Chains A and B, each alone.
Chain A
Amino acid sequence: MYGGGYIFDEPNKRQLKEEQLHDDPVKLTEFEARIARGEKIEPGDWMPSEYRRQLIRLIEQHAHSEIIGALPEGTWITRAPGFKRKLALIAKVQDEIGHGQLLYNAAETLGKSREAMINDLLSGKSKYSNVFNYPAETWADVTVIGFLIDAAAIVNQVANAKGSYGPYCRALERICYEESFHLKQGHDAFIELATGTPAQKQMLQDALNRWWQPIMHFFGPPDKTSVHSEKLMQWKVKMASNDDMRNQFLDAYVPKIRELGMTLPDPELKKDEATGKWQFSDPDWDLFKKVINGGGPCNAERLSVRQWAEEHGRWVRKALMTPQKVNVAPVA
């Protein structure tokens, strides 16, 4: 997942040094040996320019996904059913925004400023996870997101936490710890609807039917069509193939859905016990591309909400940067 998308290059005002344009083969060998030994790469280390570019793209997309991902859920805070669910949802949304901050910081260590990343998000250059371009129509959608989207994200993040870039791994360690709460509260809410009244069950089933295709899209296109994976795997930027992560997710979570009497809208979905691989009907990858490139039901809305926040938060940021007045107590 997080494949493809916009690649950031050093702005022209900062001249690239010769060594950044052409990787020194001796240093490249040392670098690859270090990774093969299981050592981490830190910000000041020499690294191939392609490693830097791909990591910026990956971490930045991950950061944007955390921020944009909080939007479909955030809108349900006011309408969460009950006090405990509301508290949990507020805590979860706060966590997601915090994850975005941690990841922007990690990406910044590679040379792209946070402002540049936000600009690229707002202009549509940088991508974020495709699932967040779909609406959360009912509370059951929030439940499916909290349980299954977070579960899928954890599969990806646990894999990436074993990657080679130190700052990204450290951010992910903290993120995974908090995600375990997200998953558990999502599972709890999911179980409550699945074991509830017929109307609650129906609402959950409808949400599952709506979200199943985006969930199958979540890990990205099948390995056979995925490009330049091999080098990124060797450099431990990409830690597991899209198909492997998808299979791992299905293996862990399809039984948890079915044990509650819920169904999934794919008649071909079943595990081949001989190979251990899940079989499913091919998701619509043309739709996936269309949504990624701006054609989804919520792309425009997500970006305009983010842009509104940036625009209307500006005076606060400026005021904090240049405090002009000190508040004094009234004299009488």
Chain B
Amino acid sequence: MTQPSLDPRVNRLHLRDSGEPVEVQEGENWNSFEVFHQEKRGAHHEHVGCVHAPNAQLALVFAKEQFARRKKCVNLWVVRSADILAFNAEDEDMFANNAEKTYRDASGFKVMEKINQFKKSTNDKK
């Protein structure tokens, strides 16, 4: 193809002549960092994705560009993906709940029933 490009930069830089194939080396695109986004003061930081960066400081800069350019944001955390410790996905069953765990739950304590019963019985006595 010899016709000039419609992109002026391509013609100006003679990009068609560059020829030599480029090989990107492993690691050249840096490490990945997980990004946590805080939407407002007092809220939790929530995981929103990751960025590639050479270090944590630049990861913050890239995270701001990538995850805070539209929606409200007051702060960001970044942490190297390799530093995240997690359970093995296959061990999911260890989180399975006992059927009977209402003793840990607010819904397991029915105080109103007892109060009403008490009020009813004292009224009946009068």
A interface list, Cβ under 8 A from B: 42-46, 71, 75, 78, 94, 98, 101-102, 104-105, 108, 113-116, 118-119, 122-123, 135-137, 170-171, 174, 178, 297, 300-301, 304-305, 307-308, 310-311, 314, 317-318, 320-321
- 15 more contacts with CB within 8 A, not counting A114-B52, A321-B30, are A101-B66, A105-B49, A105-B50, A108-B32, A114-B29, A115-B24, A115-B27, A118-B29, A119-B24, A122-B22, A122-B24, A123-B21, A137-B6, A300-B1, A318-B28
Query: In the bound complex, how far is the Cα of B23 from the Cα of A116, in angstroms?
Result: 9
B1-17 vs A, Cβ < 8 Å mask (1 yes, 0 no)? 10001111110010110
Does B51 belong to the interface (CB within 8 Å)?
yes
B123 within 8 Å of A (CB atoms): no
Where the two chains meet, the residues of B that have a C-beta atom closer than 8 Å to any C-beta of A are: 1, 5-10, 13, 15-16, 18, 21-30, 32, 48-52, 54-55, 58, 65-66, 69-70, 86, 88-90
Residue of A nearest to B3 (CB): A297
Question: With the chains together, A178 CA to B66 CA distance in Å?
Answer: 12
A101 near B52 with CB under 8 A, answer yes
The A contact surface, by secondary structure, is: helix
List chain B residues, Cβ under 8 A from A170: 49
Once A45-B90, A101-B66 are accepted as A-B contacts, the answer to whether A320 and B54 lie under 8 Å apart by CB is yes
Within 8 Å by CB of B7, from A42, A94, A305, lies A305
The 3 closest A-B pairs by CB, nearest first: A44-B89, A75-B7, A320-B54
B28 to chain A, nearest CB (A): 6
Name the one of A44, A308, A318 contacting B13, with C-beta atoms under 8 angstroms: A308
Cα(A43)–Cα(B13), bound, Å: 42
Complex CA gap A118/B25 in Å reads: 10
* B66 contact set on A, CB distance < 8 A: 98, 101-102
- B6, closest chain A residue (CB): A135
Within the assembled complex, what's the spacing in Å between the Cα atoms of A65 and B10?
19
Q: How many A-B residue pairs have CB under 8 A?
A: 97
- Alpha-carbon distance A317/B21, docked complex (angstroms): 18
B28 partner, pick from A108, A135, A178, A317, beta carbons under 8 A = A317
Q: Contact check: which of A119, A174, A301 meets B10 at CB < 8 Å?
A: A301
Name B32's contact: one of A46, A78, A105, A307 (CB within 8 Å): A105
Q: Are B86 and A44 interface neighbours, CB within 8 A?
A: yes
Provide 19 A-B residue pairs closer than 8 Å at the C-beta atoms, listed in order of the A residue: A44-B88, A45-B90, A71-B7, A94-B65, A102-B66, A105-B52, A113-B26, A115-B24, A115-B29, A119-B23, A122-B21, A122-B22, A135-B5, A301-B10, A304-B15, A304-B16, A308-B18, A311-B18, A321-B54
Taking CB as reference atom, which chain B residue is nearest A171? B49
Residues of chain A with a CB closer than 8 A to B32's CB: 105, 108
CA distance A299 to B22 in the complex (A): 17
In the bound complex, what is the Cα–Cα distance between A258 and B56 (angstroms)? 51
Known: A45-B89, A101-B66, A105-B50. A301 touches B5 (CB 8 A): yes
Separation in Å of the A290 CB from the closest CB of chain B? 14
- A310 to B22 alpha-carbon distance, docked (Å): 8
Q: Which residue of B lies closest to A296 (CB)?
A: B1
Return the chain A residue nearest B50 by Cβ. A105
